[in-house]
Amino acid sequence: MTNMVILFTGAELLVNQLLFPAQDDQKSNPNVFVVGSTLQRLLNGAEDVGLFKEFQDGTMRGFTYANRESFKDFNGDGEGFLSDAECQYIIKHGLDTLRAKNEQHVPGYPKLKLYPGKSVVRRLQSKGVLIQYFPLHNKEDLKRLSFSWYKKFKLSFQPLDDIRHYFGEGLALYFGFLEYFTFALVPMALIGIPYYLFDWEDYDKYVLFAVFNLVWSTVFLEVWKRCSATLAYGWGTLSRKKAFEEPRAGFHGALGFNPVTGREEPVYPSSKRQLRIYLVSVPFVLLCLYLSFYVMMVYFDMEFWAINTYHENPNIATSILLFVPSIIYAVVIEIMNLLYRCAAEFLTDWGEPEILLFNFVNCFASLFYIAFVMQNMVLLRQSLATLLITSQILNQVMEAFLPYWLQRRRNKKVHKRMRRLMGDKELPLLGQVQLETEMNTYLGTFDDYLEQFLLFGYVSLFSCVYPLAAVLVVLNNITEVYSDAFKMCHVFKRPFSEPAANIGVWQLAFETMSIIAVVTNCALIGLSPQVKAYFPESDTQLILIVVAIEHVLLAFKFILAFVIPDVPKHIQVKLAKLDFDSLEALKKRVSTHLHMLWKYSVLNKTKHILKP
Amino acid sequence: MTNMVILFTGAELLVNQLLFPAQDDQKSNPNVFVVGSTLQRLLNGAEDVGLFKEFQDGTMRGFTYANRESFKDFNGDGEGFLSDAECQYIIKHGLDTLRAKNEQHVPGYPKLKLYPGKSVVRRLQSKGVLIQYFPLHNKEDLKRLSFSWYKKFKLSFQPLDDIRHYFGEGLALYFGFLEYFTFALVPMALIGIPYYLFDWEDYDKYVLFAVFNLVWSTVFLEVWKRCSATLAYGWGTLSRKKAFEEPRAGFHGALGFNPVTGREEPVYPSSKRQLRIYLVSVPFVLLCLYLSFYVMMVYFDMEFWAINTYHENPNIATSILLFVPSIIYAVVIEIMNLLYRCAAEFLTDWGEPEILLFNFVNCFASLFYIAFVMQNMVLLRQSLATLLITSQILNQVMEAFLPYWLQRRRNKKVHKRMRRLMGDKELPLLGQVQLETEMNTYLGTFDDYLEQFLLFGYVSLFSCVYPLAAVLVVLNNITEVYSDAFKMCHVFKRPFSEPAANIGVWQLAFETMSIIAVVTNCALIGLSPQVKAYFPESDTQLILIVVAIEHVLLAFKFILAFVIPDVPKHIQVKLAKLDFDSLEALKKRVSTHLHMLWKYSVLNKTKHILKP
């Protein structure tokens, strides 16, 4: 079946068909194509997708082939100028934007029609002709990367530039954030240890710790914005305008003109989306929240039963029983989060804000209830500790060890099959393709960020009643770096690289959490027996003072966020300079017809696999 | 004395010396020069200062002389293409950026040296050689404008485009905002009238009014942002990048390179400014605030004395006496605001945020004190009404009628002198120049915005206890439009036009006020006897509920501000398109040296007066 070749000939791709030895059944013997590209085509592609690279003068500029000699790292014919992830992005973009010109059949599939303007890859994928495509690992680079990343056991920063080079900016920013968050937690952990060891929480210092939390969570996020901008500028993604990018490339929908770029691309029906949100998402979210509250109430019943049992007959067995309800509840929470995630993806094809909301409510509702309705600080501490530790253990298992174990089993099976088919012949590429085809697909950074978001919540919302929380999170995140790194390199298929200028919606999510943290910490301070002791006769006065302090802190937080620039000065200057030069260039162009035609040329270097 | 000619010859200006008949004393007989410019030079200047004009395709583009035919309103030789205010801005820019090339003396003034790179105009001004320069009114256009603006007494919108054409974008945006604010107040005023007439404030509806205030103040500001963006886009100032503009043109300071544009311009010593703020402004502001609080306490003493007098002997005289302290206090507040303004300008050369802060505290401190410390709603209502009415009357008098009266007296004197000198000869330009030279200078929109800001405060913070406030502000603003329009056209010198893309810091100031309004209104609701009646035994519960509602409202406010885009969709698309085309243009330019040299060419059309 050579019918897939039409996909590429028009696009000047380098395509090789991998020939597999005959296997037992026909179904597991797909046609596999490896897609590559010449360096010249990749460089032109870099211009087409609008990559920013470092210019001679140290600023980042949109790359053009004509100006290539003026870019800093461009030597000779440009070998090594583009990162691995960039090459991959260019090829992916090229494949995704391949659209049929005329209505025609796919040769060999009389029932499979291509419609003008529709994405060919998407069409082949949805019809099951193209089973999957993904970038192959680069064994050499991967070895070097994994060695410097997680194989040497010494205290050092992660090789973020190498990660970005191999996996792209999106993942590199996630690992940068993970590292930054972990380091930022260290002071809090260091303060937390003596608090926990010497039972300081029984004294006034409990209030001090809450105040520290407040300041910490604000400064933490403001400084991250600057770090993120510095990283993204150096990687060329900060200057690249998001708005010019195509919507999710393989998207199916009517073709229209992008009003900004003037390019033809699919348009998303916005009113339809609105309707779906209201008719499907809202009742669904409400139902799930109700279920979550119901489970919480069941948990409280169990908790009270356990406490009663312990009080009736205090011994070792019943004191262990005290922890059982929390542990069960923690496991149920994790399962519910997982179920909700699957259900949400099935119902609304990408309901990220709803998932976030549900996870937040699901994880923290019981803590809020214990803290502010029951006002039981002992139970709060116990519940927080159990939730945190259980969810950390579960996460590490679910996220890395389980997939790794499954992957190893699968590897062995593939190896066995390969050996049976080919004896001891060395077929390195064939073997690699076989192995990676069977690997699971990495679903993006959403789950990883979500986990950090929830940890941030545990630390910033309630840690003043359980100062060891920060220590636990630091320990978790140190192993998290290793397990995430390992999982990226060896458990999942190599993911498509995604350019990213910041952590996106997560910045907002973390900031919202830190605002909620101000409110929570102020309330916890107001509820603390030490503070209450200052106002023995009048609750009213205490509440008014706490509310006043909270308002001052919130105002201070906003002023701080306003005063600290999001982008460091020297990068602001460079960005403004780019804008200025661009406008000057636009002025200088004596051309009345400013709408440019966009050429879709498909360019390729790394390898993609197609199964017809 | 023709020594001033050196100012212009190098800059290809059209300069005419106006010859005045000999007068009584030499001092009042200055040399007067009228500066004009050719159309060609103006068009080149429009390109140099980076004006944006409407392109053929309906978007706004940076004007270039080479592309002039592609702009929408460019007909023939371009007569009428630039607005009056734009021409004036171009000439002003040219004059201000004239800098001496070498160290040399001003001919005729052996002691007056020009230093390389320093602004010539600024130097001549500071040495008293150049007494003043300003744009002359255009009698014809002014007549037309004032007729359509305030001379026809029918209900209509202001001719904002004409105002912008004549006075520039800064002033036009102020009048746009004034009109928008007034219209936005109408619903509140309409609701307020029955509240006041039927004494609804004694019932639950008092709470309803506070809730209405909350929603109103949020929506009001969000919608204004969109209106403002629409206006500014149409006027070409939204696309024009602020960062590229030179700092205040005539500025004195060491010359340095602007890191963005690469142009040579004066750099402001930032550390020096920081130091000045801490050493001078902070103690000064604190001292003034202390004074303001002291005056407030004196006012309360007076108030209690008046109330006691009334209670001891209730008759008409003592009931009038009840209002006297508030009126005196209102007058004192206005005087203190004025004094602070002068002092601040003298001490720190432009302390706008401090002036804002001081005015806010000065005007509202007593109301906050009455509302939340004394919790005396009757006194609050009376005090609010007196402050509002007194300050409105004072403002109208101080701002328009007093200057007008002074101006008329001055006009008569000038006319008399002119007649004495020249008999009945008709010298229209000479006469106009004489008249306008004597007029006061308009100090910018700051005071006008400040007045609106304080009115907004009165309305949004406390109007639920005095529902007539909105009615008073609407009435005030209707006369304000007329008096401000009149004052711009006939009382002050024509101001230099200032391009503006939005109302700048005032947006932030109004938003801050509306956040404070949420807090105040919630607190007022909590203090209302009707709400208190629901919680007869427990103040604590009431406070907690009010605080919870307040937090929900604040969260709702932020979500609303986040959800409503600041710039309407169709303008966002146009702006993104400009960015996109600019970057494309920059990419296409095969030039390794991107820093462009900036030519300062001085271009002129309207008239400027110089007195050497």
The rounded average pLDDT for each run of 10 residues, N- to C-terminus, in chain B (612 residues) is 29 58 53 80 84 85 85 85 87 78 73 74 78 82 85 73 91 94 91 77 65 83 92 86 47 60 62 70 84 92 91 87 89 89 69 81 91 86 89 83 80 77 65 79 86 91 83 89 86 86 88 90 83 79 88 88 85 81 66 28 33 36
Structure confidence at residue A295 as a pLDDT band (50, 70, 90): very high
Which pLDDT does position B598 carry in this prediction?
25
Contact B70 A592 (CB under 8 A): yes
Residues B54 and B152 in one domain: no
Distance of CA B422 to CAs A402, B23, B34, B425, B428, Å? 103, 10, 21, 6, 12
Distance CA A583, CA B581 (A): 9
Taking 50 as the threshold, does the pLDDT of residue A594 lie above it? Answer: no
Using CA coordinates, name the residue in chain A closest to B262: A577
- At residue A2, the pLDDT reads 26
Q: Which pLDDT band holds residue A426 (cuts at 50, 70, 90)?
A: low
Chain A's closest residue to B55, CA to CA, is A592
Q: Please give the C-alpha separations between residue B81 and each of B43, B69, B75, in angstroms, as whole numbers.
A: 9, 11, 8
Report ipTM (2 d.p.): 0.77
Residues A233 and A306 in one domain: yes
- B596, part of any domain: no
**Cα(A581)–Cα(A596) distance, integer angstroms:** 19
Contact A451, A174 (CB under 8 A): no
Q: Which segments of A503-598 does DSSP mark as H helices, in order?
A: 505-527, 529-534, 539-563, 569-588
d(CA A353, CA A338): 15
Nearest to B184 by CA among B215, B140, B150: B215
Rounded to 10 deg, the angle between the A446-462 and A205-234 helix axes is 150
Rg of chain A's alpha carbons, rounded to an integer? 28
Question: Is it the case that residue A368 has pLDDT exceeding 80?
Answer: yes
| Whether the predicted pLDDT of A610 surpasses 90 | no
Residue B276 contacts by C-beta under 8 Å, 6 or more apart in sequence? B348
**CA B544 to chain CA mean position, Å:** 41
Residues of B in contact with A47 (CB under 8 A): 587
CA of B69: which chain A residue's CA is closest?
A592
Number of CB pairs < 8 Å for A and B?
124
The DSSP line for B386-429 is: HHHHHHHHHHHIIIIIHHHHHHHHHHHHHHHHHHHHHTT---HH
- Over the stretch A472-504, which tens digit does the pLDDT of each residue have? 999 999 888 888 888 888 888 888 888 888 888
Strands (E), A443-485: none
| Phi, psi (rounded to 5 degrees) for B60 | -95, 135
Share of chain A above pLDDT 70, in %: 80
Burial class (CB in 10 A: 0-12, 13-18, 19+), B85: buried
Identify the pLDDT of residue B9.
28
DSSP notation for B484-550: HHHIIIIIBPPPPP---SS-THHHHHHHHHHHHHHHHHHHHHHHSHHHHHHSSS-HHHHHHHHHHHH
Helices B205-234 and B446-462, axial angle in degrees (round to 10): 150
Enclosing domain of residue A6: 2-98
Name, in order, each residue with C-beta under 8 angstroms of A500's C-beta and a sequence gap of 6 or more: A168, A169, A170, A173, A232, A237
Within this chain, do residues A361 and A506 fall inside the same structural domain, yes or no?
yes
Predicted pLDDT of residue B242: 53
Within-domain flag for B159? yes
* Nearest-neighbour CA in chain B from A604: distance (Å): 22
| Cα end-to-end span (Å), chain B | 8
Question: Does B450 reside within a domain?
Answer: yes
| Mean pLDDT of all residues in A293-315 | 91
B300 phi and psi angles, rounded to 5 deg? -65, -40
- Indicate whether A54 and A167 sit together in one domain: no
Between B259 and A39, residue with greater pLDDT: A39
Does one domain contain both A180 and A281?
A: yes
Q: Do A580 and B61 touch (CB under 8 A)?
A: no
- In which element (H, E) is residue A6 found? helix A6-9
Residue type, B600: Y
Alpha-carbon distance A67 to nearest alpha carbon in chain B (angstroms): 6
Specify the pLDDT at position A228: 93
pLDDT of residue B347: 67
In chain B, the largest separation of any two C-alpha atoms, in whole Å, equals: 91
For the ranges A9-23, A152-166, A389-403, B324-338, the lowest mean pLDDT is seen at: A9-23
Higher pLDDT, A228 or A586: A228
B250 in any annotated domain? no
Note whether B551 and B408 are same-domain residues. yes
Q: Where are the beta strands (DSSP E) in A458-500?
A: none
CA distance B409 to A469: 77
| Residue B498: both structure tokens together | 């200032």
Question: What pLDDT does residue A20 have?
Answer: 58
The minimal CB distance from A590 to the residues B67, B540, B583 is found for B67
Structure-block tokens of residue A83: 């990162």
Which two tokens mark B113? Answer: 């040296």
Count of CB atoms within 10 A of residue A275's CB? 11
Q: How far apart are CA B99 and CA B117, in angstroms?
A: 5
Residue A584, domain member (yes or no): no
| Residues of A whose CB is below 8 A from B594 | 57, 581
d(CA A101, CA A117): 6
Q: Are residues A70 and A199 in the same domain?
A: no
Asked whether the beta carbons of residue A260 and residue B590 sit closer than 8 angstroms, the reply is: no
Give the per-residue SS3 of A161-213. HHHHHHHCHHHHHHHHHHHHHHHHHHHHHHHHHHHHHCCHHHCCHHHHHHHHH
Cβ atoms of A91 and A606 closer than 8 Å: yes
A81 phi and psi angles, rounded to 5 deg: -70, -45
Q: Tokens in use for B506?
A: 């005032």
- The closest of B236, B213, B272 to B553, measured between CA atoms, is B213
Contact A580 B47 (CB under 8 A): no
Q: How far is CA B160 from CA A322, B184, B447, B451, B503, in A?
A: 73, 17, 20, 20, 15
User: Is the domain of B492 the same as that of B556?
Assistant: yes
- Convert the pLDDT of each residue in A171-215 to its tens digit: 999 999 999 999 999 988 888 888 778 766 554 566 777 778 878
pLDDT surpassing 60 at residue A453: yes
Residue B129 C-alpha, separation from nearest chain A C-alpha, in angstroms? 37
- Residues A93 and A177 grouped into a single domain: no
**How, if at all, do strands A264-266 and A52-54 pair?**
unpaired
- Kindly report the nearest CA distance between residue B33 and chain A, in angstroms: 34
Residue B578 lies in a domain: no
Report pLDDT for B535: 80
Pairing of strands A264-266, A255-257: antiparallel
Based on the domain organization, do A491 and A363 belong to the same domain?
yes
Query: What token pair was written down for A205?
Result: 């210092």
What is the per-residue DSSP string for B85-128? HHHHHHHHHHHHT-B-SS-EEETTEEEEEEPTTSBHHHHHHHTT
> Can you give the pTM of this predicted structure?
0.81
Quick one: pLDDT at residue B604? Answer: 29
Question: Measured between alpha carbons, how far is B253 from B247 in angstroms, rounded to an integer?
Answer: 11
Total domains in the fold of chain A: 2
Burial degree of A328 (CB within 10 A; 0-12, 13-18, 19+): middle
Taking an 8 Å cut-off on Cβ atoms, the answer to whether B586 and A590 are in contact is: no
CA distance A235 to chain B (A): 18
d(CA B400, CA B413): 20
B587 contact residues in A (CB cutoff 8 A): 47, 62-64, 67
How many angstroms from the chain centroid is the CA of residue B439? 19
pLDDT of residue A154: 57
Cβ atoms within 10 A of the Cβ of A551, count?
A: 17
Q: Are the C-beta atoms of B352 and B446 separated by less than 8 Å? A: yes
Q: Is there a single domain that holds both residue A510 and residue A565?
A: yes
**Do B346 and B406 meet the contact criterion of CB atoms below 8 Å apart?**
no
Q: What is the 3-state secondary structure (H, E, C) of A64-82?
A: CCCCHHHECCCCCCCCCCC
Cβ contact, residue pair B579, A61, below 8 Å: no
Instruction: Flag whether A427 is in a domain.
Output: yes
Residue B544 lies in a domain: yes
Q: Is B240 helix (H, G, I), strand (E, B) or coil?
A: coil
- Cβ contacts (< 8 Å) between B584 and chain A: which residues? 596
Write the DSSP string, A353-370: HHHHHHHHHHHHHHHHII
Note whether B81 and B184 are same-domain residues.
Answer: no
Instruction: With beta carbons under 8 A apart, name residues in chain B contacting A241.
Output: 576, 579-580, 583
Task: Identify all chain A residues contacting B596, using CB atoms and an 8 Å cutoff.
Answer: 581, 584
Mean pLDDT of chain A: 78
